[in-house]
Amino acid sequence: MVQVVEDIFGIATNPLTKMAQVIRRYTITNSNHMSVGIITLGATIQNIRVPDAFQETADVVLGFDDVAGYLKHQDLKFGCTLGRVAGLVSNGEFILDEHRVIVSKNLDQRHHSDGGFIGFDKVIWDLHLMLVEDIFGIATNPLTKMAQVIRRYTITNSNHMSVGIITLGATIQNIRVPDAFQETADVVLGFDDVAGYLKHQDLKFGCTLGRVAGLVSNGEFILDEHRVIVSKNLDQRHHSDGGFIGFDKVIWDLHLMRADGITLRHVSKAGHEGFPGRLAVMIHFTIDDESRLFIRIEAKSNKTTPVDICNHTYFNLAGHKAGVEGLFEHRFYMEGRKTIETNTTDKGVLPTGRCGSVKNSVYDIRQPAFMGDRLRQFKDMPVPGFHVNYALSKDVTSLDTRYLGRFLHNPTGRYMDIYSNQPALHFSTANQLPKQTHGEDPIMGKKCTRYWQNSGYALQFMGFPDACNQTMFPTIIILPGEKYFNETIYQFCVKEPWKCCATAEELEAMDKDLIRNS
């Protein structure tokens, strides 16, 4: 296991800004008791500790215990990075593209060396991206029946955004992002321990759903002229969310670890939950310095089989603690001209195979609207909030990752732009959570937060529901060796503070600009 620990090493004056700045140290440790300490002053290796043949550990590089030592002896370059040109530039000049270039002469006032008077060894470097691994808990692997460690991987960028992923269910455990006032908050609902996720697995907090995340009506479908029967975990009639042991319940393996994220891997054996073919799945969770979270899901099978995988995270940009009040303060809009029609029968609520226009309905969210205003319109309906499938496109052969909408929380200035390459969206507003007005007990989430109905919203970018049985819907069938690919991007940004307190007229003007510029 690799761990990264951050601490404050000291304070120094930034030679470029002339301002005092904190010098940070990042210590990376592996399972062999080797550790490396890097400080941001000069991108310097401050220590490397390794064991000897007798398991005695020692620091094998020369250096100092404080910033003062490095500043006093900067001319001796202890552990630092040299550049822009680390070597010699004789006479402090050279010819480039037929032009004479003159650079600083820091060596005997004649030559350029080691990057000059303020080389890379003297500047204070920024943290670009960092990945930290820790142990989140222990759970029983439902496939092997053995106890297994659940690991968490936390990715951080230079904008103070961080994302935590746990291997149980390939779950997004936290997303921390700053607001317009530089206050950071966790904007996804979830739990601080494995027990919370296991207790509430039916509500799918932050997890990955598959092998088929959508509905398979009657738990069967026709594939290559053969009837395929899959597990019936929904009302003992239908298949939903991947079955009894879907991707949300398995413990994923770490496949790849790098500075900007991780790749988790799981192999679903042929016949699992009734589906044909061995399916190898990889999920790439990465972030960048534009505060974009990329969720890229790839899968291949050795046999023809349906595949429809998605993530199911409950968001609340006011912060996961903000509850219903914070959710009601959101303004949002999403691309979605049509919804996928359903029909209530004695067998449940099933897709009809048709799509209907959202025009003049509560489901028309193509123009910015307040979440609170929309949810109040569901007051007397059977489902007290959004629980709807939007048809984003029926042309599955030409789907590129495209901009689909925005969620904005005005009081904090946080907003989230959304991109995906999937043909459908299931949008819901945590309707299944306990009803506070009915006296039901809340779900106790992170930091002992009480989660109630409508405390968050989930965006599932996926294929059409029951596409296995609806011939008019885009197919979710892949052929042997064909790659399934689902990409969803969430970009977290902030508006200027004054816009968070804008008047109704100013908000209307911003809405027009927002749609025009999207």
Q: Tell me: the pLDDT tens digits for 334-361? A: 999 999 999 887 777 899 999 999 999 9
pLDDT for position 345: 77
pLDDT for position 344: 81
Residue 158 C-alpha from the chain's centroid: 16
Compute CA distances 162 → 75, 146, 184, 192, whole Å.
Answer: 37, 31, 10, 16
Question: Please, what are the averages of pLDDT over each run of 10 residues along the chain (518 residues)?
Answer: 84 96 92 94 98 96 98 97 97 97 97 97 92 94 97 94 98 97 96 98 98 96 97 96 98 92 97 98 97 98 98 98 97 94 83 94 94 93 93 74 95 96 97 93 97 98 96 95 97 76 62 55
| All CATH 2.70.98.10 domain ranges in the chain, comma separated | 3-126, 130-517
Classify burial at 377, counting beta carbons within 10 Å of its beta carbon; exposed 0-12, middle 13-18, buried 19 or more.
exposed
End-to-end alpha carbon distance in the chain? 43
Bridge partners of 165, per DSSP, are: 153, 172
Q: Which CATH architecture has domain 130-517?
A: Distorted Sandwich (2.70)
pLDDT for position 176: 98
CATH class of 3-126: mainly beta
pLDDT for position 235: 93
> CA torsion sign, 214 to 219 to 222 to 223?
positive
Side by side, which strands form the sheet with 20-29? 3-13, 20-29, 35-39, 44-51, 57-59
Compute CA distances 226 → 23, 218, 304, whole Å.
Answer: 65, 15, 12
160 neighbors 29 (Cβ within 8 angstroms):
no
Where are the strands (E) in 201-278, listed by range?
A: 207-209, 220-223, 226-229, 253-258, 261-268
* Residue of 407, 402, 369, 374 lying closest to 388 (CA atoms): 374
268 neighbors 282 (Cβ within 8 angstroms):
no
* Residue of 366, 469, 473 lying closest to 427 (CA atoms): 366
Structure-token match 């062999």, residue found:
32
